[in-house]
Amino acid sequence: MSNILLRAITGFFFILLIIGSLIGGNTSTMIVMSLFAILGLNEFYNLFKNHPTVELDKPIAFILSAIIFLISVCIVNESIDQKYAILIIPTIFLLFIPELYLKRTNPILNISIVILGLIYVLLPFILVIDLNHFSTSKNPLVVGMFLLIWTNDTFAYLSGRFFGKKKLFERISPKKTWEGTVGGILFTLLVAYFISFWSNDLPLSFWLIAALIIAPCSIFGDLIESLFKRSLNIKDSGNILPGHGGILDRFDAAIFSIPFFYALVIFYS
């Protein structure tokens, strides 16, 4: 019970921080999401610190990744001209050079892990920062997206806890069930229906499609994060969030859902 209470308290303040930053505008969104991105990237690289074959030069990887992230955020915030996006490409290629001097046995694997960090961790947070430019009081895109993600997580857990019998993916996540999955999807659709009344600029069809995309994506995101941790024999990605683990543990569903939701928004715009 104490762990459940701890999770609830942490979750409350976590949600409050995200919703507050999104409602606060583009600057607060950029600050909070950038903080999560940096902490998440640090966690991701730390996953491999005891790996027998991956030998990351973390400071170099982190600096170059931060440069790429900074350029991307400045572009989506229109702080610099879009032409500077071209600088991202040579910066990525700079990741190859240190492996010439470090004389490590698996340079291709090392470079691949760094690039995976860019795609898996940084890209979703960049997309959230960009998405918030489309949000208004009548069109709460990012708030609505997170509400759908959290609804699926919460009710998939509760439905599975009370009704779950048939295992969904026992090899990766023994506690997930088909009953929980169906419950999560149904409640996500219900919340999408209510969000559509709040969102005057987007039709009900958009939010229902969003729910049908986000619900399975949230499940896959959770499973993929579990797959990573199982393959590395790690329980949590970090311990910064009491009762929840790390940033990646808390954002696992969102990380996989955000790119698909972003694509839906672009098609509807």
- Give SS3 for 171: coil
Is the Cβ–Cβ distance between 192 and 226 less than 8 Å?
no
Which of 227, 228, 214, 160 lies closest to 168, judged by CA?
Answer: 160
Residues contacting residue 259 through CB under 8 Å, at least 6 positions apart = 123, 124, 127
Q: Predicted confidence band at 50 (pLDDT cuts at 50, 70, 90)? A: confident
* pLDDT at 269 (0 to 100): 74
Two structure tokens written together for 228: 């990573």
Provide the 8-state DSSP code for 118.
I
In this predicted model, what pLDDT tens digit does every residue of 152-210 receive, in sequence order? 999 998 898 888 788 888 888 888 889 999 999 999 999 999 999 887 778 899 999 99
| Mean pLDDT across 22-34 | 91
The length of the chain in residues reads: 269
Any idea what the Cα angle at residue 150 is, between residues 47 and 117, rounded to 5°? 25
Q: What is the mean pLDDT of the chain?
A: 90
Q: Which residue has the tokens 């955000």?
A: 258
In this predicted model, what pLDDT tens digit does every residue of 109-137 receive, in sequence order? 999 999 999 999 999 999 999 998 877 65
Two structure tokens written together for 241: 């969030």
In this predicted model, what pLDDT tens digit does every residue of 236-256 receive, in sequence order? 888 888 767 889 999 999 999
117: Cα separation from own chain's centroid: 12
- Rounded distance, CA 141 to CA 54, Å? 39
The count of C-alpha atoms lying within 13 angstroms of the C-alpha of 163, restricted to the half-sphere facing its C-beta, is: 11
**Is residue 2 scored above 70 in pLDDT?**
no
